[in-house]
Amino acid sequence: MAKINGSDAMLKVLYDWHIDHIYGFPGGSFDSSMNAIYNFRDKMKFIEVRHEEAGALAASAEYKLTGKLGVCFGSAGPGAAHLFNGLYDAKFDKTPMVAIIANVPEGRQDIDFFQAFDEDKWFQNASVWCRQPKTAELIPTVVDEAIRQAYARKGPAVVIISKDLGWQPIEDNFRVNYDAHVEDNYAAPTKSSVEEAVKLIKEAKNPVVYYGLGAKGAGEELKEFANKYKTPLLSSYLGLGIVEPAFPAYMGTIGRIGAKPANEIQGHADLVVWVGNNSPFSVLWFNKNAKVIQIDVDPAKFGKRHSVDVSMLADAKKSLRALIDAGEERAESPLYKAALADRENWDAWMDSFKDDHLKDEGRVRQEPIFDVINKYAADDAIFALDVGNVNMDTCRMLNLHDDQRWTTSGLHATMGYGAPAALAAATAMPDREVWQLAGDGGFAMMNQELLTMARYNMHVLNVVFTNETLGYIEAEQRDESNQPLSGVIMPDNDWAKVAEGMNVRGVTVRTKDEFEAAVKEWKNTDGPMLIDVKYTKHMAYSTELNTLNDPEFVKFYHAEALKPFDYFAEKYGLETDAASGASQHEEEPEPDPEPEATSGASQH
């Protein structure tokens, strides 16, 4: 029987699972595996990131974009510790990935050796599955199991490899279980649940649909449902793009980063069709007495965020289809009419700023920049979004369409996600445009990955929005906790010059025309580029405050053309009791949520 080193056997398992690249940064404790990577250089591409955290975030982003797990590695000690942020991103967003972690040789463990710590204990919580093979012969078996567990449990799996075991020769007789892996195939809804749900839809005065990432692939059904039952569509942030933003009944995402219409409408629904959505912030929304039809494939989600009247343990696409086929078409409700008018007013107001250059400020507003992005991004472009105000801007202004894809750090919401996600996109889908959109705060955390983009000549456009503040946190301090600004000011950095120093073309722009010219330049090149957009320091419209009856608020946000929702409610006859939920109740008002409930980095 032919022999193969333990680490080579590990790489062979990955390759037989159709994994052809791996992200990481070498270290002495990983030498046996680095040797295997060299031996597999003709089969597997090694993407040498400049920081292990970038590798872990890239591996997490890869599944979000492609549906195929990514793989990263880190050496013992600091290399391993740097992986935690990416692992928690994957765990929070239920993203399959595999992290391979080096350990010092077996004979040097448990004696306080150089860079050694109890890795298995540390990584148990950061993963959905964590093992350290005790013999070299177990390495391929454990790696194969890690891949299957990552897919099955939808999260990061960790394999810890002792340096000496990676060198040991073993018999080359292991065969992977790739052919046994199948796509998710969830059940159809039961007849009784469909009947109960259709009855509630028929009885409701003002129904809405609230969907999340679990509705992915059901965009056409959501639109057909909305058209038949005249229901406004609301989504979580992670549900963005499942229905194209241009669809008239789509009101946007609920929450601080969302648009005005979605936040106003949610409080007036008497029935919510809750589809594949587990947004933690949804406990703050919807009337407590509103009825709920919840569709999910995970029984643990039922009733987690709101009381539920009908639970449908089934696939979102199949459930929506069953409900569409079983019910009678509804007439437009007052809420539906008011919602469409509210959105038209919001869209017109946003469009009015598309050519606003803020000449007196020497900076550019958000709307002109996104007008250019929407105009020039390819129909199959990929957007790697960092965390911060960029989430708000993309949520409100990025008109996703066709086969465009996007990714961000959802529930973990880690700043610095954009650059690693762009690496993953450019590596996994090198023939597609990749746009990294990041604020100056988030970009400062992972900007060293420009070196990686330059090294592999990745066609990535890095758009950095420089407004010299941690804008999302500034708005929290100002609007939520009403405190003096503290720790949010950023220095005005020359990111174009930084990019040039990392062998990436850099351009600074202050107007829409300059940005458009820079985008055209990038589209005619085959490598990376960075555009430093000197962004307005003026904060985006606050849907948390949303007090259009306050002249100071209107003046601050230039919102003279916006109308409050009660204008549309009155115009279309939305009754007071219907506008306040399914029914009036006399329960004691709930206490204000703890600060953590609304001050996280990502109120999605």
Q: In this model, does residue 582 exceed pLDDT 60?
A: no
Q: What is the pTM of this model?
A: 0.90
Is residue 146 a part of any domain in this protein?
yes
Residues 325 and 376 in one domain: no
Total domains in the fold of the chain:
3
Residues 530 and 449 in one domain: yes
Is residue 353 a part of any domain in this protein?
no
Residues 421 and 516 in one domain: yes
pLDDT number for residue 184 = 80
pLDDT number for residue 601 = 36
pLDDT number for residue 187 = 87
pLDDT number for residue 108 = 60
Is residue 388 a part of any domain in this protein?
yes
pLDDT digits (tens, 9 = 90+) for 67-112: 999 999 998 888 999 999 999 999 999 999 999 999 876 656 666 7
Is residue 341 a part of any domain in this protein?
no
> Where residue 482 falls among pLDDT bands split at 50, 70, 90?
confident
Q: In this model, does residue 421 exceed pLDDT 80?
A: yes
Residues 466 and 521 in one domain: yes
Q: Which amino acid is at 103?
A: N
Determine which of 156-160, 219-223, 534-538, 556-560 has the lowest per-residue pLDDT on average. Answer: 534-538
**Domain span at residue 280?**
191-332
Is residue 571 a part of any domain in this protein?
no
d(CA 111, CA 116): 8
Is residue 551 a part of any domain in this protein?
no
Structure tokens at 116: 């050694």
Residues 217 and 156 in one domain: no
Interval 351-355 mean pLDDT: 91
> Where residue 577 falls among pLDDT bands split at 50, 70, 90?
low
Cβ distance 99 to 156 under 8 Å? yes
Q: What is the DSSP string of 31-94?
A: HHHHHHHHHTTTTSEEEE-SSHHHHHHHHHHHHHHHSS-EEEEE-TTHHHHTTHHHHHHHHHTT
Question: Which ranges in 401-532 belong to alpha helices (H)?
Answer: 418-428, 440-446, 450-455, 471-475, 495-501, 512-523
Strands lying side by side in the sheet with 70-74: 45-48, 21-24, 70-74, 97-103, 156-162, 129-131
pLDDT number for residue 585 = 36
Cβ distance 346 to 260 under 8 Å? yes
Residues 197 and 253 in one domain: yes
Interval 570-575 mean pLDDT: 90
Last residue of a domain, one of 152, 180, 208: 180
pLDDT number for residue 416 = 96
> Where residue 54 falls among pLDDT bands split at 50, 70, 90?
very high
pLDDT number for residue 360 = 54
Q: In this model, does residue 131 exceed pLDDT 50?
A: yes
d(CA 358, CA 364): 6
pLDDT number for residue 164 = 82
Strands 310-313 and 382-385: unpaired
Is residue 500 a part of any domain in this protein?
yes
pLDDT number for residue 163 = 76
Last residue of a domain, one of 506, 534, 562: 534
Cβ distance 223 to 246 under 8 Å? no
For 294, the 3-state DSSP assignment is: strand
Q: Give the list of residues 6+ apart from residue 421 with CB closer than 8 angstroms, or none.
A: 57, 58, 61, 64, 65, 384, 385, 407, 408, 436
Is residue 325 a part of any domain in this protein?
yes
pLDDT number for residue 105 = 66
d(CA 280, CA 254): 12
By CB atoms closer than 10 A (0-12, 13-18, 19+), residue 556 is middle
Residues 173 and 195 in one domain: no
d(CA 111, CA 499): 44
pLDDT digits (tens, 9 = 90+) for 173-203: 898 888 888 788 888 999 999 999 999 999 9
Residues 450 and 514 in one domain: yes
Residues 166 and 278 in one domain: no
Interval 374-378 mean pLDDT: 97
Q: Give the list of residues 6+ apart from residue 149 with CB closer than 8 angstroms, or none.
A: 128, 129, 157
pLDDT digits (tens, 9 = 90+) for 205-222: 999 999 999 999 999 999
CATH code at position 22:
3.40.50.970
Residues 528 and 410 in one domain: yes
Q: In this model, does residue 450 exceed pLDDT 90?
A: yes
Interval 291-298 mean pLDDT: 94
pLDDT number for residue 579 = 43
Can you state the percent helix, strand and coil of the chain, rounding each to 5? 45, 15, 40
Please report, in angstroms and rounded to a whole number, the separation of the first and last CA atoms in the chain.
Answer: 55
HEC-encoded secondary structure of 569-600 = HHHCCCCHHHHCCCCCCCCCCCCCCCHHHHCC
Mean pLDDT computed over every residue of the chain: 89
For 170, the 3-state DSSP assignment is: strand
Residue 217: how many other CB atoms lie within 10 Å: 12
Structure tokens at 111: 């004696």
pLDDT number for residue 109 = 64
CATH code at position 255:
3.40.50.1220
pLDDT number for residue 588 = 41
pLDDT number for residue 359 = 55
d(CA 430, CA 457): 10
Interval 439-453 mean pLDDT: 95
Higher-confidence residue of 243 and 474: namely 243
Q: What is the crossing angle of helices 31-39 and 6-16, to 10°?
A: 50
Residue 320: how many other CB atoms lie within 10 Å: 26
Residues 219 and 81 in one domain: no
How far are the Cα atoms of 57, 90, 339, 517 from residue 364, in angstroms, in the given order?
A: 31, 35, 30, 15
Last residue of a domain, one of 180, 213, 238: 180
Residues 393 and 319 in one domain: no
| CA nearest neighbour of 492 among 462, 515, 467 | 467
